[in-house]
Structure 1
């Protein structure tokens, strides 16, 4: 996972001290990889302990691990990633913007993945008696997509379109189940509430949300992060939807490969029954 990208994505949620250190690292990357925690603290005018805490905030065991990741970081993000259209855009302009934005955003999504976390989530999904999915609006479309995929390989899953029905279904979740909440903001009450109930009932809980300190990520046992690409004023949940669909594809394929021969058989059965009514 890119160190520079993690710093940029999490910047708004940092404390003032963390922002001070983050700014110094972003401006002096080449220098920082050769500094000790004490030397960096002197230059950034903070305490050595704050350097170590910041490293752990980013998910590293310590400052040395951060430096290793920083040294191999290339941060090659393309600048023109906006899909906010203007009145004089041609169709060619729109096509270019969508292509650049989606490609860049998927790359960033993959860059934020923690392989150990993904493995743990897939293992929990494989072993789950039932997988409950929570999401509304564009996130609901992502949840429906995952449910449709899981049903094709005979994995018991549940998604209700009505938010109140989603919340009602959560009271029946047990410690044999998995609950997945999808919300870009991480502050959607209709998603956070059932996921919290699921955790209280002993289920493994998973959040798919933007890279930030938000309420949903605090509830979940495991969090998969989406890039902070969406603007405050947007024409639709475009990149966040693509990013979330990328994540659920990875999770689905991870579950599907667990018993590959059975998966192939299940997919053939569902394909054959659909073909029979055409």
Structure 2
């Protein structure tokens, strides 16, 4: 079992200092290849004892054995820069798959909470709250979060636009104004269709909120407000799992924060729309 999977399987059992070390290993494995326990303790703001304890918690006798195994993983990564993030292995049992997914998603949500800049979030909430119309953009896996936010906000009485057909979405972006806001979901920040919509919005003076990974990208450079996702998933992956959950978390966060200032009105409108939809359901009386 490689070090990444060892860490994922044991992560929920680790204490605070060990989690800090685990996070640092996942982000910067090369830093752990040659440093002593004391140096790594200083690097991670923990201690030499915490480094040794972490290695033993992963099943190694000590730091040297850990570093040897880590070096093998780093070499494999360098030889396969376009490797696919599979998360699971061929012979994993259903119980192992469930454990890996649970640990991965739990850590993912913690990472999202740490990555989001509250000041940026407040800017986004203000823009959405004051916007005349809201334009939502997202394709592929990122369309799930955009569509979910669309369905939620439309029930709260907002004027909001979302189209699965990217051609229609692009045409609609032409009509955005400085009084509106555009919210774009794109983990990579590289999707051409999204970038075209953003560039049109910029021409129109429309503020742009980007929900994207924590990395420099064309989208992050164009956005007025950035709600950043943890960079914990390869762009080439077996399924957009962590990134989709992270985007959905932010989608729900934007929705809940947006309606908090007007809950009585939103509640009344939802009750009325629910009555309207009840006409579509069969009655048993």
User: Is TM (by shorter chain) over 0.5?
Assistant: yes
Q: Secondary structure at the match of 1:247?
A: helix
Q: Deviations over 1:86-121 (max 9, x none)?
A: 221221122111111111101100111111111111
CA distance in 2, matches of 1:4, 1:215: 31
Q: Taking structure 1 as reference, are residues 144 and 261 closer, same or farther at Cα in structure 2, changes over 3 Å only?
A: same
Q: Taking structure 1 as reference, are residues 29 and 119 closer, same or farther at Cα in structure 2, changes over 3 Å only?
A: farther
Match of residue 101, structure 2, among 81, 93, 98:
98
Equivalent residue pairs, number: 224
Q: Secondary structure at the match of 1:155?
A: coil
Structure 1 residue 260 corresponds to structure 2 residue 260: no
Q: Which runs of 5+ in 1 are unaligned?
A: 12-18, 34-69
Match of residue 116, structure 1, among 107, 113, 119:
119
Q: Deviations over 1:9-35 (max 9, x none)?
A: 998xxxxxxx99xx99xx9587589xx
Which contiguous aligned blocks of 4+ residues in structure 1 show a shift greater than 3 angstroms? 3-11, 27-33
Aligned-residue CA RMSD (Å): 3.2
CA distance in 2, matches of 1:107, 1:242: 12
Q: Give yes or no for contact 1:170–1:198 (8 Å, CA) kept in 2.
A: yes
Q: Secondary structure at the match of 1:207?
A: strand
* Match of residue 165 from structure 2: 162
Q: Which moved more, 1:88-97 or 1:111-120?
A: 88-97
Could you state the TM-score of these two structures normalised by the residue count of structure 2? 0.70
Q: Taking structure 1 as reference, are residues 121 and 194 closer, same or farther at Cα in structure 2, changes over 3 Å only?
A: same
* Match of residue 201 from structure 1: 204
Q: Which runs of 5+ in 2 are unaligned?
A: 1-19, 47-53, 59-84
Could you state the TM-score of these two structures normalised by the residue count of structure 1? 0.72
Q: Displacement, 1:124?
A: 0.6
Q: Secondary structure at the match of 1:257?
A: helix
Structure 1 residue 223 corresponds to structure 2 residue 257: no
* Match of residue 8 from structure 2: none
Q: Give yes or no for contact 1:105–1:227 (8 Å, CA) kept in 2.
A: yes
Q: Displacement, 1:172?
A: 0.5
Q: Give yes or no for contact 2:188–2:235 (8 Å, CA) kept in 1.
A: no
Q: Give yes or no for contact 1:175–1:202 (8 Å, CA) kept in 2.
A: yes
Q: Deviations over 1:132-156 (max 9, x none)?
A: 0111001111110000000110111
Match of residue 275, structure 1, among 274, 278, 283:
278
Q: Taking structure 1 as reference, are residues 147 and 116 closer, same or farther at Cα in structure 2, changes over 3 Å only?
A: same
CA distance in 2, matches of 1:178, 1:94: 40
Q: Displacement, 1:204?
A: 1.1
* Match of residue 41 from structure 1: none
CA distance in 1, matches of 2:119, 2:22: 19
Q: Give yes or no for contact 1:83–1:94 (8 Å, CA) kept in 2.
A: no
Q: Give yes or no for contact 1:133–1:181 (8 Å, CA) kept in 2.
A: yes
